[in-house]
Amino acid sequence: MRFKKHIFICTNQRDNGKRCCGQEHGLALVAAFKKELKDKGLNVEIRAQRAGCLDACDFGPSLVIYPEGIYYGNVQLNHVSEIIEQHIIGGKTIEHLKINF
């Protein structure tokens, strides 16, 4: 496997007026994750990328981290460091952001 972990960040756009991650800074989250991973030298093993709809719009902005399959919701730019430090590096689930379907 090329990457140890993937961070898929929803950047879906909706035209029907319903809440969507793309309109709530989804692309800014992608850029922030990529920058911080690169700054920490983790971008070789960890990949952050945009994704289409994760079917978690009510919890947006949302993302999912694989291989664990942990979904996080209401992710703000100030959560990027916390997710990288605690989940990606530390291996701990961040309960206050976790989506329980």
Helix/strand/coil (H/E/C) assignment for every residue in the chain: CCCCEEEEEECCCCCCCCCCCHHHCHHHHHHHHHHHHHHCCCCCCEEEEEECCCCCHHHCCCEEEECCCEEECCCCHHHHHHHHHHHHHCCCCCCCCECCC
- Domain boundaries of the chain, sorted by first residue: 5-89
Residues of the chain under the 70 pLDDT cut? 17-20, 24
- Given this model, what pLDDT does residue 31 score? 97
Distance linking the first and last C-alpha atoms of the chain: 28
Residue type, 74: N
- For residues 94 and 48, is the Cβ–Cβ distance under 8 A? no
Q: What is the pLDDT of residues 34-58, one digit of tens each?
A: 999 999 999 999 999 999 999 998 8
Distance, CA of 17 to CA of 21 (rounded, Å): 12
The top-level CATH class assigned to 5-89 is: alpha beta
- Given this model, what pLDDT does residue 11 score? 92
